[in-house]
Each structure stands twice: as structure tokens, then as C-alpha cells.
Amino acid sequence: MAKLTIGFIGLGNMGGPMAANLVNAGHTVRVFDLNKAAVSELEAKGAMAASDAAECAIGVDIFISMLPASKHVKSLYLGETGLINLLDSKTLVIDCSTIDAESARQVGIELAQKGIDFVDAPVSGGVAGATAGTLTFIVGGEHRHFEKAKLALVDMGKNIFHAGDIGAGQVAKICNNMLLSILMAGTSEALQMGINNGLDPKVLSDIMTASSGRNWTLELYNPCPGVMETAPASNDYKPGFMVDLMAKDLGLAMEAAQQSNSSTPMGSMAKNLYTMLQHQGAGSDDFSAIFKLFSK
Ligand code: NAD
């Protein structure tokens, strides 16, 4: 595969290991983050440290951002001080952050007006997937841009989907996360009811995993402490994927539901449960900590 010059901004829990995988694949990777320690860590792994966003972005083949939320993405690219005024028209921009579809479309349209190509490519798979290079990428944008994006995404992920036009990646991502939150809440509720009725949660989990209640949370991410050694629940709910980020994604899901006049009673209930969990001070816990809302 051709080796590229790639700019990467946002070296947090996800972006750090993703950028490291690009370095390991042999690309020339320029990195920047507001957190200097994160930049130094990547430099030690073979990346080139940029002193600001502009130095990271100018003249690269592909530019990737992995930032917390919409406001960070919009302020990086748009406006008088945005990268929109500096990026080269040969550069493909890939935003991997989870943000609302409308913001992704706005960034895409404004960049296109300057002749700069853009795809949204939110991810699924968490920190473990980012580290192992096995993320799922859900891409929105033109087909030819999707094909170019794959040149970099293959070195960070295992499954790469083209969901549709710009913004479609974000829509698919929040549909998935809304369902995941519902499954996590329902699994927690069922496990605790079993415990309250005298069942061993490990035995009950084995039974439901082999029955029609089977789902990803039961199989790989059991929310009950002690059932699955490798799950965050057995490590004091250390993330993983934080309650705060799940609550953010459910907020995006509710916005999308409202805009499209969709009925999402289960998603709305999950959003309320995750907001309650935040109010109880569990925002930095793993999202499987929703189990605590049901336990006695
Ligand atoms: P994080 O908070 O760990 O990392 C974000 C990084 O962006 C930080 O290092 C921060 O310093 C940097 N940053 C913010 N604004 C910046 C700017 N203007 N210039 C340069 N750097 C800037 O977040 P994360 O867990 O890596 O998540 C990133 C995105 O991925 C979020 O949108 C999140 O919803 C999504 N996501 C996270 C997970 C997960 O398991 N953590 C899974 C899937 C998707």
C-alpha cells in the first residue's frame, strides 16, 4: 500500500493509539494536540511533532481529526482562523470524531466550496479497538473520497463501511450507540432481577448468552462485576467508553430523532438513565456502570 503524509489532530484516548498505528504502518505522520504530553508520547513512537494545527495540516495527503465534540471540530476547520483557509486542495480531510450529522455536513459543504474533499468517519470499537487497529469505521461522503480514505483507515481498522453521503456516518454511528445503550440498560435490569431472585449472575449470563436474550453486552462486556474478568465492570468500571460520552451520543440521537420526526421511546429512556448516572457522579466511569442504577 502507498505510503502517505498524514496530519493527525486529537491524540486522546482514541486518537493517540490510532495515530501510533499509522506510524507503525510506515506513513509519515505529523501530529498535534493541545496537550503537549500527548504530542511528546507520539513523537517518541516515531511521529513528527507539529507546533500548531496549521503546521500539522499544510501540504499533507490526508488530514485526520479525532476531537471530543462538534464545537471543537467546527472551530478547528471553519471561520477566519479555521484550517479551511490553509488546507491544500489535494488534501482529503477525514473527521473521525462523533458529532451531529448537521455539523459534519456544514464542515463538508464549506470545505467543498474551497475545493477541499471531506468525509465523516466516526468509529466503533473503543480504546481496545483503537489500540489493536481493529476499529469499525462508518464513512459518509462521495465514493471516490471513501476509496481514498480507505488508504489510511485500513491501517487503523478492520471493518470499513460506506454509509452514504456526508453525515451518513454520523447517523449510523448514533443509531448503533442508541441501540447499544438500550441493550446495556436492559441487560443490567435483567441480570439484577435474576440476582434478586437468587440466581448466580454468571450462570444467568451463560443461559441468556445461549438463549434469545443474547446480545453484545452479555457476550463481550458484561455489566455485572465479577462475571467477566476482562470487562470494565470487573475493574471498578474504569473506561472503556465513558458515561459522559454515551450521554453525549444519546443527546445527538435525540436531536436526530426530533429532526426526522422519529419515535425513539427506548432511546429517550436510555438518555434519561445515563443523565441520572452522570448526576450521581459517574460521568467518568465506563458506560456499563448503568448496572449500578439497578443494584441494591
Ligand atoms: P479524548 O478527550 O480522550 O481526546 C480528545 C483530544 O482532543 C484531547 O487530547 C484534547 O486535548 C484534544 N483536543 C481538543 N481540542 C483540540 C484542538 N482544538 N486542537 C488540538 N487538540 C484538541 O476523547 P476520545 O475518547 O479520544 O474521543 C474522541 C472522539 O471519539 C469523541 O468524539 C468520542 O465520542 C469518540 N469515540 C470515543 C470512543 C471511546 O471509547 N473513547 C469510542 C468511539 C468514539
Residue 235's pLDDT is 97
Residue 1's pLDDT is 66
CA of 293 to the centre of ligand 1 (A): 27
171-293: CATH topology is: N-(1-d-carboxylethyl)-l-norvaline Dehydrogenase; domain 2 (1.10.1040)
Residue 171's pLDDT is 97
User: What is the position in ligand 1's atom list of the atom closest to the CA of 124?
Assistant: 43
End-to-end CA distance of the chain: 54
CA of 13 to the centre of ligand 1 (A): 7
CA of 67 to the centre of ligand 1 (A): 4
Residue 133's pLDDT is 98
The tally of CA atoms less than 13 A away on the side-chain side of residue 287 is 28
Q: pLDDT 10s digit of each residue in the chain, 296 long?
A: 679 999 999 999 899 999 999 999 999 999 999 999 999 999 999 999 999 999 999 999 999 999 999 999 999 999 999 999 999 999 999 999 999 999 999 999 999 999 999 999 999 998 889 999 999 999 999 999 999 999 999 999 999 999 999 999 999 999 999 999 999 999 999 999 999 999 999 999 999 999 999 999 999 999 999 999 999 999 999 988 899 999 999 999 999 999 999 999 999 999 999 999 999 999 999 999 999 999 97
| Atom 20 of ligand 1: nearest residue by CA position | 33
Q: Residue 62 belongs to what H/E stretch?
A: strand 62-65
Helix, strand, coil percent values for the chain (each to nearest 5): 50, 15, 35
User: What is the position in ligand 1's atom list of the atom closest to the CA of 97?
Assistant: 32
Residue 36's pLDDT is 97
Q: Are 73 and 96 in contact (CB under 8 A)?
A: no
CA of 217 to the centre of ligand 1 (A): 23
Residues with CB under 6 A from ligand 1: 9-15, 32-35, 38, 53, 66-68, 72, 76, 97-98, 123, 126-127, 241, 245
Which of 9, 18, 39, 67 has most ligand 1 atoms within 8 Å of its beta carbon, as the pocket-test mutant? 67
| Atom 14 of ligand 1: nearest residue by CA position | 67
CA dist., res. 50 & res. 64, Å (int): 14
CA-to-CA dists, residue 69 to 29, 33, 74, 252, angstroms: 23, 15, 9, 10
DSSP 260-291: TT---HHHHHHHHHHHHHHHTT-TTSBGGGGH
pTM: predicted TM-score of the whole model, two decimal places: 0.92
User: What is the position in ligand 1's atom list of the atom closest to the CA of 11?
Assistant: 9
CA of 196 to the centre of ligand 1 (A): 39
Which of 18, 21, 31, 33 has most ligand 1 atoms within 8 Å of its beta carbon, as the pocket-test mutant? 33
Residue 221's pLDDT is 94
User: What is the position in ligand 1's atom list of the atom closest to the CA of 75?
Assistant: 18
> Which residues belong to CATH 1.10.1040.10 in the chain?
171-293
- Class for domain 5-165, per CATH? alpha beta
Catalytically annotated residues: 173
> Which residues belong to CATH 3.40.50.720 in the chain?
5-165
